[in-house]
Amino acid sequence: MTSRHAPVIPPHMLDALARHGAGHLKSRAQNTLSIDQQFRQPMSARAKASIIHQNYPDSAPGAPARYIFDANQQTRLPGELVLEEGGEPPEDAQVVQAYEDLGATYRFFHDVMGRHSIDGEGMALLGTVHYGQAYQNAFWNGEQMVFGDGDGEVFLPFTRALDVVAHELTHGVTELTAGLEYRDQPGALNESISDVFGVMVNQYARGEDVTQADWLIGADLLAEGVNGKALRSMAAPGTAYDDPMLGKDPQPAHMDQFVNTRSDNGGVHINSGIPNHAFYLIAMELGGNSWETAGQIWYDTLTDERLASDAQFIDFAGLTMAHATQRFGQRVAEAVMNGWRQVGIGP
């Protein structure tokens, strides 16, 4: 079971908001959860799939092909086409943000990782803004990006956060490479890989090295008044938020605190904190820019045919060490091993 719908806001946050939010916030969270649930149905139940992309051709090497649509608060996709590659930007800030963020993510994968769009062959990048009524999420559905407006009181418009856009597009890369199953440890790896590339795209766009970066996911999404700084923290999993409506960040940073749960496909958004923290520790030990060494190792591992769809944390860690040795040598491999050991994975 690979993920065709991997929303950035995990269900445990929305569940908490549906229980503890004010009346209108509670109903909006319940509505978001309901929409998210329908996307978890088998693909055959919603299979217009690749028909969409037949109308939007792939791009030439080195350049993205972006198409931004407006759902006008409806839930039909893709919506009305309002901006395409090279077109005149409208006054709608969310349209412009989506267009720019898709471009920044494309440039990172192309210029840094040598990958020509999500599929490696120039796949057009589609994004729909203003999806649903105060929809409190953003997701990749196997064909395109979808952005909610948020409710303005807890979650702000989802086009604000480049790392979130890159996170979701990376789900597409993972789907078309390792195809990691969206459950338990392989699902947590799936989520972690998206967080890793999300922060790297953000750091690359800002020109930040590992010491300048905040290592947060979704720092631009929480509204003023929410007691939190982001959705997740790679530097300190479990500390991103502690809010009466959203609850407390449940992410562990070490295998000793691994969470066994049946919810969220076995805690894919929770236990991802462990490999997230390993990447942070490794990048910090190596220094410089995260994408130059640690990021290259992660990409080599993600695209390695030996990475099975049901890979466990230890399997992924072993391959990162092999690629570190192959590409950079023993010193870097030891830094990678040290990072995994510090989160309780490996010898």
CATH classification of the domain holding 245: 1.10.390.10
User: Is 76 among the domain residues?
Assistant: yes
Rounded to two decimals, the pTM is 0.95
Alpha carbon distance 114, 128 (integer Å): 26
Clarify whether residues 20 and 146 are in a common domain: yes
Q: Looking at the structure, do residues 64 and 166 belong to the same domain, yes or no?
A: yes
If asked whether residues 145 and 210 sit together in one domain, one would say no
The verdict on residue 347 lying in a domain is: no
Q: Where are the alpha helices (DSSP H) in the chain?
A: 11-20, 23-38, 51-54, 93-111, 162-176, 184-206, 264-267, 273-286, 294-302, 313-328, 330-342
Give the domain range for residue 18.
11-176
How do residues 222-256 score in pLDDT, each as one tens digit?
999 999 999 999 999 999 999 999 999 999 999 99
Helix (H, G, I), strand (E, B) or coil at 195: helix
Best CA proximity match to 289, nearest among 160, 191, 199, 216: 199
**Dihedral (CA of 111, 82, 60, 194) sign:** positive
- What pairs with residue 155 in β-bridges? 222
Cis amide leading into 78 (omega within 30): yes
Does 5 fall in a domain? no
Q: How many domains does the chain have?
A: 2
- Answer yes or no: do 193 and 155 share one domain: no
Same domain, 84 and 195: no
pLDDT at residue 40, as a whole number: 52
Assess if residue 194 is contained within a domain.
yes
Same structural domain for residues 171 and 189? no
DSSP-derived pairing of the beta strands 232-233 and 242-243: unpaired
Does 195 lie in the same domain as 160? no
Which residues of the chain, if any, have pLDDT below 50?
A: 1, 3, 41-49
CATH number at residue 132: 3.10.170.10
Query: Catalytic pick from 12, 130, 168, 171?
Result: 168
Please pick, among 12, 167, 171, 269, the residue that the annotation labels catalytic.
269
45 and 124 in a common domain: yes
User: Within 13 A of 258's CA, how many CA atoms are on the CB side?
Assistant: 12
Tens of pLDDT, residues 4-57 = 567 899 999 999 999 998 889 999 999 999 888 776 544 333 344 455 667 898
Examine the fold and report which residue of 131, 153, 176 is the final residue of a domain before the chain moves on.
Answer: 176
Q: Are residues 137 and 259 in the same domain?
A: no
Based on the fold, state whether residues 221 and 169 are members of the same structural domain.
no
**pLDDT at residue 307 in the model:** 98
In-domain check, residue 2: no
- Please tell me whether residues 52 and 121 are part of one structural domain: yes
Structure tokens at 176: 């078309």
Final residue of a structural domain among 176, 205, 232: 176
Give SS3 for 241: strand
End residue of a domain, out of 128, 152, 176: 176
Residue 1 in any domain: the answer is: no
DSSP 45-110: GGTTTTHHHHTSPPPPTTS--EEEEE-TT---SS-EEEEETTPPP-S-HHHHHHHHHHHHHHHHHH
For residue 4, what are the contacts with CB-CB under 8 A and spacing of at least 6? 39, 43, 141, 142, 175
Q: Pick from 199, 174, 198, 170: which is nearest to 186 by CA?
A: 174
- Same domain? 50 vs 153: yes
Residue 168 appears among annotated catalytic residues? yes
What pLDDT shows up at residue 37?
A: 78
Non-local (6+) Cβ contacts of 137 within 8 A are 7, 8, 9, 14, 32, 35, 36, 148, 158
Q: What is the per-residue pLDDT for 39?
A: 62
Asked, for residue 135, whether it belongs to a domain, the answer is yes
CB 277, CB 234: distance < 8 Å: yes
- The answer to the question of residue 190 being in a domain is yes
